[in-house]
């Protein structure tokens, strides 16, 4: 009996020695090759994955650019031109994807990447052109919005000199870039410069925004009119445009020189005009417009804007306080 | 005779320690019902509250937030393009 127990223990020891060595002999994923012998299969997989990820990122970028162009305020002609370019780029990326995807080993991948490099030179140039055109359109819109803000701040009574200087600076760089693009010149540095200038103008706008605190009882009206208008009330107003303007009393107005009328009105006043105007007023009053145009207004400062357009005439009452 | 249970215990111990890790889920000891029942939704109904239109914050009202968002998006598209252009074709 003792003998059989011994044999059992021997068998047990043999089992304990054999099982781990058999388990260890099984191939393991990701096992390193000995130093000095490059694992081309591993290198191939890593590079293929990296290149496929890059293709995917390029495709995603193109998709997002397409969405941005569709939503942008570019002209229909520009949109169609850019969309055509994006389609060509997508076809190129499809070709690039196929070349990389079809490579079955390290050598094939290396050859494919050589061809992709040539194809990418043209594709990336096209991508840059589209990105720049979209960025310029976007910055054009941002500058226009900053100008709107400057008008609103000035109408409220803030000093907008710094903001207007910064906007003018950005605007002149933007115009230079447009000329360079039309001449086929590289504008990457200029775009960075423009972005800095827009950032500076935006910083000025944010400073003024902190000072802009209309009284809760004040209403705000912003309108564009081609025709005639009449504005009455206790106001802070800015009227810009071309045409004839009468202010009563004259002492409440300050006029800028030039062909474009720019009038700032403060206090209890009555203003009327005929021509093409942009009117922004804070306070309590009434604006009547005849002709064509659009407007947005709120009766009290803490409400949301209501907007509309008109073809004949419209009267807007603004302000929650007394006239 | 006493050696046999010890032998069996040690066998189980060794085999248990050396067995490879299972990647598949073990079968549930209880038979699964083929007709799965969707659990009864116990999410309480939200209490109806009067809808109040939030007032515009000054930066919302002036469009400052939108301008900031547009500036960031434009910047992001350009910098992403730079990253894509910096791809290495060295293999």
Q: Which residue do the tokens 């922004």 mark?
A: A280
Q: E strands, A123-260, where?
A: 219-248, 253-255
Residue by residue, DSSP assigns A211-243 as H----TT-EEEEEEEEEEEEEEEEEEEEEEEEE
Residue of B nearest to A4 (CA): B3
Residue of B nearest to A298 (CA): B61
Which residues in chain B touch residue A208, judged by CB atoms under 8 angstroms apart? none
What share of chain B in percent tops pLDDT 90? 18
User: Pseudo-torsion of CA A79, A85, A87, A91, nearest 10°?
Assistant: -170
**Domain presence at residue B5:** no
Q: Which of A1, A109, A202 sits opposite B91 (nearest CB)?
A: A109
Angle between helices B64-85 and A188-211 (to 10 degrees): 160
A291 has which bridge partners?
A227
User: Of A187 and B58, which is predicted with more confidence?
Assistant: A187
Instruction: Please provide the average confidence, as pLDDT, over all residues in chain B.
Output: 64
Angle between helices A106-156 and A40-71 (to 10 degrees): 30
Residue of A nearest to B2 (CA): A5
pLDDT at position A12: 57
Domain containing residue B67: 57-85
Token couple for A95: 């070709």
**Domain presence at residue B71:** yes
pLDDT at position B39: 43
Is B89 in contact with A116 (Cβ distance < 8 A)? yes
Q: Which residues make Cβ contacts (< 8 Å) with residue A232, sequence separation at least 6?
A: A269, A270, A271, A285, A286, A323
**Domain presence at residue B74:** yes
Q: E strands, A249-318, where?
A: 253-255, 261-298, 306-310, 313-318
| Per-residue pLDDT tens digits of chain A, which is 323 residues long | 555 656 666 665 555 555 544 444 443 433 444 556 677 788 899 999 999 999 999 999 999 999 999 988 888 988 998 999 999 999 999 999 999 999 999 889 999 999 899 989 989 988 998 999 899 999 999 999 999 999 999 999 999 999 999 999 999 999 999 999 888 888 889 999 999 999 999 999 999 999 999 988 999 999 999 999 999 999 999 999 999 899 988 887 777 655 567 888 899 999 999 999 999 999 999 999 999 999 999 999 888 899 999 999 999 999 987 65
Token couple for A308: 């509309």
Give the global pTM. Answer: 0.71
Note the pLDDT tens digit of each residue in B27-37: 344 444 444 44
**Domain presence at residue B61:** yes
Report strand pairing: A219-248 vs A313-318: unpaired
**Domain presence at residue B90:** no
* A276 secondary structure, DSSP code: E
Rounded-to-integer distance, Cα A60 and Cα A263, Å: 49
How many structural domains comprise chain B?
A: 1
Q: Minimal CA–CA distance to A166: which of A136, A143, A140?
A: A143
Q: E strands, chain A, where?
A: 219-248, 253-255, 261-298, 306-310, 313-318
């Amino acid at each position: 009996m003792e003998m059989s127990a011994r044999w059992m223990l021997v068998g047990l020891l043999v089992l304990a020695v054999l099982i781990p060595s058999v388990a260890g002999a099984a191939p393991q994923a990701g096992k390193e090759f000995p130093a000095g012998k490059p694992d081309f299969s591993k290198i191939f997989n890593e590079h293929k994955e990296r290149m496929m990820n890059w293709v995917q990122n390029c495709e995603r970028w193109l998709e997002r650019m397409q969405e941005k162009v569709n939503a942008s305020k570019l002209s229909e002609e520009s949109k169609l031109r850019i969309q055509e370019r994006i389609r060509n780029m997508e076809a190129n990326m499809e070709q690039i994807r196929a070349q990389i995807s079809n490579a079955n080993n390290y050598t094939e991948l290396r050859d494919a990447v050589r061809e992709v490099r040539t194809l990418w030179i043209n594709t990336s140039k096209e991508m840059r052109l589209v990105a720049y055109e979209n960025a310029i359109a976007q910055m054009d819109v941002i500058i226009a919005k900053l100008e709107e803000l400057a008008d609103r701040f000035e109408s409220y009574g803030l000093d907008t000199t710094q903001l207007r200087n910064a906007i003018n600076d950005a605007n002149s760089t933007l115009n230079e870039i447009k000329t360079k693009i039309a001449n086929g010149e590289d504008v990457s540095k200029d775009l960075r410069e423009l972005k800095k200038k827009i950032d500076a103008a935006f910083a000025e706008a944010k400073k003024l925004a902190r000072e802009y605190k209309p009284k809760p009882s004040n209403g705000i009206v912003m309108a564009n009119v081609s025709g005639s208008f009449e504005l009455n009330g206790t106001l802070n107003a800015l009227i810009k445009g071309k045409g004839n303007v009468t202010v009563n009393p004259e002492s409440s107005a300050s006029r800028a020189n030039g062909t474009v009328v720019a009038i700032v009105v403060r206090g209890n006043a009555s203003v009327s005009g005929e021509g093409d105007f942009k009117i922004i007023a804070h306070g309590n009053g009434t604006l009547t417009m005849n002709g064509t145009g659009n407007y947005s207004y709120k009766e009290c400062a803490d409400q949301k804007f209501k907007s509309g357009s008109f073809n004949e005439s419209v009267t807007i009452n603004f302000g929650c306080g007394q006239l | 005779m006493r050696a046999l249970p010890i032998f069996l215990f040690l066998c189980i111990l060794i085999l248990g320690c050396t067995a490879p890790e299972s990647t598949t889920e073990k079968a549930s000891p209880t038979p699964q019902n083929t007709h799965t029942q969707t659990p009864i939704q116990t999410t309480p109904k939200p209490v109806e509250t009067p809808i109040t239109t939030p007032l515009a914050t000054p930066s919302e009202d002036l469009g400052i937030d939108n301008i900031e968002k547009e500036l960031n998006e434009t910047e992001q598209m350009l910098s992403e393009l730079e990253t894509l252009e910096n791809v290495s074709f060295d293999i």
